[in-house]
Amino acid sequence: MKVNSRSGFTLIEVLIASVIFALISINIAMVTRAGSHATANGVMHELLNSELDLTLDRIKLALMSASADNVYPQVSAPASNDRIDFNTSLGVQSGVHVMGDPERIEWSPTENEVGRVVWTQSLGLPNERTIQWSKSIPTMQNKEIINLSDDNANGLVDEPGLSFHVQHASNKEMQVYITLTVTKTDSSGRPVPANRQVNVTCRN
């Protein structure tokens, strides 16, 4: 009669099983953590692009009805400005153009390293009000530093995080170019910038 000399597991087998179990657990934890980081960063990129699009859309919409003769300052590339003042054209009454109250869109500093984009309606008047459009705008444009050079090769020198410059077309139309960088922090605490330039034609 054959007798099975083995009963249960040997110590070596138990140790090997424990090591394999530990390695599998570590791998699962790493994959899970990488997955949650990827998810968090994906959400952060969505928010970053949404804020960039929404802020640029608001600026474009405001400047679309601005009267070209009432836009200040009118600086051309490679110069730019972090503020633009304008009046919107409300229409014509008895042959005369009726202008809206003065407005301003500008970069405004905060206590942190990033600033805000704010729109001021009825500038300097008793009914003046200021509305924030974005709060994640760095001092300088992405990959740009103050050194009298165009570091990010966009035709502008030392341009701020929100910058405006104008271009006069041959048909005398005036276009305002808006260049914007928005920055958010990813799940590792690293700042991630996104930038875009759009332009809008102002009314003559």
Nearer to Ca ion, 69 or 150 (CB): 150
Find tokens 């970069």 and name the residue. Answer: 107
Compute the least distance from the CB of residue 146 to Ca ion, in Å: 6
Report the alpha-carbon distance of residue 156 to residue 179 in Å, rounded: 10
Compute the least distance from the CB of residue 37 to Ca ion, in Å: 32
Own/partner pairs, 49-55, CB within 8 angstroms, 24+ separation: 49/194, 51/134, 51/136, 51/182, 51/184, 52/180, 52/182, 52/194, 52/195, 52/196, 54/133, 54/134, 55/117, 55/133, 55/134, 55/180, 55/182
Nearer to Ca ion, 112 or 147 (CB): 147
Nearer to Ca ion, 132 or 149 (CB): 149
For binding to Ca ion (CB under 5 A), which residues are involved? 144, 147, 149-152, 154, 156, 158
Compute the least distance from the CB of residue 145 to Ca ion, in Å: 5
Q: Which two tokens stand for residue 167?
A: 């271009």
Compute the least distance from the CB of residue 82 to Ca ion, in Å: 13
Nearer to Ca ion, 88 or 179 (CB): 179
Residues 6 or more apart in contact with residue 119 via CB below 8 angstroms: 58, 62, 103, 104, 105, 130, 131, 133
Nearer to Ca ion, 10 or 147 (CB): 147
Nearer to Ca ion, 33 or 143 (CB): 143
**DSSP category for residue 140:** B
Compute the least distance from the CB of residue 143 to Ca ion, in Å: 8
Q: Which of 100, 35, 50, 37 is nearest to 70 (CA)?
A: 100
Compute the least distance from the CB of residue 78 to Ca ion, in Å: 8
